[in-house]
Structure 1
Amino acid sequence: MNQLEQLMSEIKKMGDAVKERVQRSINALVEKNPETALEIIREDDLFDNELIVFEDKITRFLAEKNPHGKELRNSLSIFKMAKDLERIADYATNIAEIVLEFKNEEYIEPLTHIPKLASLALNMLEVALRAFVDGNPDLAEAVCRKDEEADNLCDIIYKELTSGELAEGQPRSIRQTVRFNMIARFLERIADHATNIGEETILLHTGKRVKY
């Protein structure tokens, strides 16, 4: 396995680890599990350091090997993907922090659409990573086309949370409304980052610059 293939393998493992972090944060939210949330928060610095080390590897590869053509484009795409994964990992931590805020509280409504949005965003991320590693622009395009569905789900969550029935004016209700909307926005941004990876894959393998 050459260095570029090794970097590709590492970014795939990193993507799987990020996906697992987000899933754990959503599970902690649904199950009201502050212990898991605290674990995710404690792991944040370690995970950030792993990403920094990985970005340093790519930088050294670019400096030492001075790649050209497809090899250079692949390297730069991997670097961009690392940045996307870094932001997604941050969102997992943000969700975990909100779980701790909700400790010992009853939710103002049953969680229905947030887990659905999480499932969609995480599936988009998984497929986007596979499309990148396999060099499959058609699969990447299928991911990008899911972005609108994620946006629509985020809008549905916002409308539900800000409806007259839930806007009771009580401090707990208002605070949870704001926080659940933040979680929905975090998940929508994860879908956006998955779309970024898809767009980068399409550009890398077709030369077409698309924007969804």
Structure 2
Amino acid sequence: MTDQRSIKAIFFDLGNVIVRVDPVMLEGGYAAYGRIREGQIIDYFMDSDNMNRYMEGKLTSSQFYSRTRRLFKLDIRFHEFYRIWNSIFAPYPEVEEIIRTIRRDYPEIKMILVSNTNESHYEFLRDTYNILDVLDGCVVSHEGGKQKPHPAIFNEALALAGSIPRNTFYTDDRPELISAARVMGIRAFQFVGHEQLRDQLAQFGIRV
């Protein structure tokens, strides 16, 4: 077992780690405002030029709305568009409990959000889920202009935490991002559920 004191920082991904995400909600929501083929919106959400530009802060929320509305011929107003856009999230109480336990029992460990996200999602989540206020800081793609797995976003998080890779634990649901972090020397583990996260943290003496 690695001594707990070797871990100075914990990096958390956001979607499907701190909060649950169900992008299928977008299809049902936007279908009432235009003709959308099955899977079309989800593919757009997961990987498209507009989405990547929005995630990197190269499109404003207004620009992303206008481009998406034109692309899918949606007859929808701005606020309704983003109400549906933000409807994909649900709380993950067990992970919230883990974060609060770390804050209480290991106050010396810095907890940092490291997320590929966009302006609307991030603002909605900050306003809706106060668990983000428990963290010591946030590094998000739309503010820094880079998405994971680019090393710059991890380096920014390391600097914010005052940590180095070998003293940093990182959890994310995407295996390719875990691999990229491991190349940098970060102690990265794929998130597959809250019980497994507890077991992964316990390897470093962090018992939650």
The structure with the largest alpha-carbon Rg is 1
Greater relative contact order: 1 or 2 (C-alpha under 8 angstroms, separation 6 or more)?
2
TM more than 0.5: no
TM-score (norm 1): 0.28
Choose between structure 1 and 2: higher helix proportion: 1
TM-score (norm 2): 0.28
Choose between structure 1 and 2: higher strand proportion: 2
